[in-house]
């Protein structure tokens, strides 16, 4: 088969497979009220339908990458898609909430193998052009992310919520076909040997407990979930100890001796924390200002369109010139966009400052996403691409979750300090002037802290070596 055609088929497979995993999280949120009425499992059940998927993803990113490195990224990717389809069938046929939650957990497990190995497979297939490929991957998955929620809402409204899961089956079959049809010669054999099962288990427990503690603590109070942080810390300490003595470690710590690998992941933590603040709090704040939920959701569409148009171009330029300028300028633009959003105090202010802030933010995001992912992957030897992808995915999700949780506490503290009392910060329809002003102040502080995180990411980017990045791409 023509090599270029095989690469395109592989790109199509990774886009379709990753889109299944990405869309499922957002579409289910749209469907939750209908599912709750159908299965009658209350608010707690709704929360767990969402959390079960996210927790499984976060806990298994790193082990999933290690499995792909040992057993073959294409094979593990296809198996993950097949597992996702099987779990989707179970979710669609679920007779009660308990079965649906189990199915969602299985979807998250399979989704971790799909998303992590899709990026590693692109690196394996495209080599030195992987920045452009990651840019295309980002663009096309953004298209799916834009269209997923409205399409899912239409299916829930006019057909049945069960079909948002059943429709995954033919899409998964097409994805597996594309992955197999796009098979091309490997440039380097995968590692062989035993999988580091103790390390994989400890990493999964650590990240799973930490993620659960942060998400649940932000919603219900950290005092009730203190034990999760003890479990996470003990598991992490055990993981480090195991990786030091095991013959074939799942995470070779020598990877972090590579400057670009360490710095790219540190910047990922800071910048994706800022992104989490934007995606979560801006949507809530727009509704607090009086915009409808639909209007608040549509506010993110132009940014996604900008990603589609610009991300491949920035990825290609980063391949040619080196990533440092894009990692720095992208983070600075994200910080500037968040700072502009902090000036929004009313609906009129949104048109003066908010639109400009979202535009600047979107350009910065498009400039940064492909180069930062490509840099993190390219800095690692190719046999460790799956691990490198797993580390980067895990770091981004942890940065996102930690920031959303911590800023939730900040918003509450600022709200109370400015006269909010026992009110609810950023509550929709909050008309009393004192409460309204307290909410505005709390949002402003949150956005400025998020902007500071993006600036910290930009400072970290200054240490990235363009020369090493280009050498890694050529290797």
| Rounded distance between C-alpha atoms, residue 247 and residue 456, angstroms | 37
Token pair listed for 322: 């080196």
| Rounded distance between C-alpha atoms, residue 45 and residue 23, angstroms | 20
The percent of residues in the chain predicted with pLDDT above 70, rounded, is 81
Q: What are phi and psi of 324, to 5 degrees?
A: -60, -45
| Rounded distance between C-alpha atoms, residue 29 and residue 339, angstroms | 29
Token pair listed for 26: 């957002």
Nearest to 3 by CA among 128, 121, 125: 125
Which residues are CB-neighbours of 278 under 8 A, at least 6 positions away?
337, 338, 341, 361, 450
As a whole number, mean pLDDT of residues 40-49 equals: 64
Q: What residue spans define the domains of the chain?
A: 1-180, 196-247, 251-475
| Rounded distance between C-alpha atoms, residue 76 and residue 72, angstroms | 6
Tell me what percent of the chain is helix, strand and coil, each rounded to the nearest 5: 85, 0, 15
Residue found under tokens 């297939």: 125
Measured between alpha carbons, how far is residue 294 from residues 34, 72, 153, 357 in Å? 18, 42, 12, 20
φ/ψ bin of 42: left (φ > 0), alpha (ψ from -120 to 50), beta (otherwise): left
As a whole number, mean pLDDT of residues 85-108 equals: 90
Which residues are CB-neighbours of 100 under 8 A, at least 6 positions away?
35, 39, 49, 91, 94
Longest distance between any two alpha carbons in the chain, whole Å: 68
Token pair listed for 8: 């395109």
pLDDT digits (tens, 9 = 90+) for 303-334: 777 777 887 788 788 777 888 889 999 999 99
**∠ CA 274-118-260, rounded to 5°:** 55
- Helix (H) or strand (E) holding 92, with range, is helix 73-92
pLDDT digits (tens, 9 = 90+) for 289-300: 877 656 666 676
| Rounded distance between C-alpha atoms, residue 343 and residue 17, angstroms | 39
Residue 193: what pLDDT? Answer: 45
Return the top range by mean pLDDT from 19-33, 99-113, 199-213.
99-113
Residue found under tokens 């989704």: 111
DSSP state for residue 191 in the 8-state scheme = P
Q: Report whether pLDDT(86) > 90.
A: yes
Nearest to 407 by CA among 270, 273, 240: 273
Work out the number of other CB atoms within 10 angstroms of the CB of residue 422: 5
pLDDT band at 474 (very low <50, low <70, confident <90, very high): low
pLDDT digits (tens, 9 = 90+) for 347-381: 888 888 988 998 899 899 888 888 888 888 777 77
The percent of residues in the chain predicted with pLDDT above 90, rounded, is 16
Q: Report whether pLDDT(178) > 80.
A: yes
Token pair listed for 474: 């050529």
Secondary structure, 3-state, 405-446: HHHHHHHHHHHHHHHHCCCCCCCCCCCCHHHHHHHHHHHHHH
Specify the CATH number for 1-180; select among 3.30.360.10, 3.40.50.970, 3.30.465.10, 1.20.1250.20. 1.20.1250.20
**Higher-pLDDT residue of 296, 69:** 69
1-180 and 251-475: same fold? yes
Token pair listed for 449: 């802290």
Considering the domain 251-475, what is its CATH architecture?
Answer: Up-down Bundle (1.20)
């Amino acid at each position: 088969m023509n090599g270029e055609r095989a690469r395109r088929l592989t790109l199509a497979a990774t886009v379709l497979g990753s889109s299944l995993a990405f869309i499922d999280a957002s579409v289910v949120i749209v469907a939750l009220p209908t599912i709750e009425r159908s299965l009658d499992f209350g608010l707690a059940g709704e929360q767990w339908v969402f959390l079960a998927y996210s927790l499984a993803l976060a806990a298994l990113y790193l082990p999933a990458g290690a499995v792909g490195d040992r057993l073959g990224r294409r094979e593990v990717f296809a198996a993950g898609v097949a597992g996702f389809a099987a779990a989707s069938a179970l979710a669609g046929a679920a007779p009660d909430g308990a079965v649906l939650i189990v199915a969602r957990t299985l979807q998250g497990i399979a989704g971790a193998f799909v998303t992590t190995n899709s990026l590693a497979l692109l690196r394996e297939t495209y080599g030195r052009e992987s920045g452009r490929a990651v840019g295309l991957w980002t663009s096309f998955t953004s298209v799916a992310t834009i269209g997923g929620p409205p399409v899912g809402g239409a299916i829930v409204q006019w057909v049945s919520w069960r079909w948002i899961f059943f429709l995954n089956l033919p899409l998964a079959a097409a994805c597996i076909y594309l992955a197999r049809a796009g098979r091309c010669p490997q440039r380097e054999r995968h590692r062989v040997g035993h999988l580091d099962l103790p390390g994989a288990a400890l990493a999964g427990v650590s990240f799973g407990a930490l993620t659960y503690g942060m998400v649940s603590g932000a919603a219900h109070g950290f005092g009730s979930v203190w034990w999760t942080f003890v479990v996470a810390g003990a598991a992490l300490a055990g993981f480090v100890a195991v990786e030091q003595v095991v013959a074939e470690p799942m995470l070779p710590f020598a990877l972090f001796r590579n400057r670009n690998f360490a710095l790219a992941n540190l910047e990922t933590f800071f910048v994706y924390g800022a992104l989490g603040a934007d995606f979560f709090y801006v949507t809530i704040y727009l509704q607090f200002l009086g915009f409808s939920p639909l209007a608040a959701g549509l506010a993110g569409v132009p940014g996604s369109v900008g990603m589609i148009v610009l991300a491949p171009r920035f990825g290609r330029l980063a391949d040619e010139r080196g990533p440092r300028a894009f990692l720095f300028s992208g983070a600075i633009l994200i910080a500037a966009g968040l700072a502009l959003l902090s000036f929004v105090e009313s609906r009129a202010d949104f048109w003066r400052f908010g639109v400009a802030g979202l535009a600047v933010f979107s350009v910065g995001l498009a400039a940064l996403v492909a180069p930062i992912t490509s840099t993190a992957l390219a800095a690692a030897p190719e046999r460790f691409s799956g691990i490198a992808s797993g580390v980067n995915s895990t770091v981004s999700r942890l940065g996102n979750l930690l920031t959303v949780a911590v800023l939730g506490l900040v918003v509450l503290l600022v709200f109370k300090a400015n006269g909010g009392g026992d009110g609810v910060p950023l509550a929709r329809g909050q008309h009393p002037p004192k409460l309204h002003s307290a909410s505005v102040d709390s949002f402003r502080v949150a956005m400025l802290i998020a902007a500071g995180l993006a600036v910290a990411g930009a400072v970290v980017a200054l240490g990235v070596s363009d020369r090493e990045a280009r050498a890694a791409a050529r290797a």
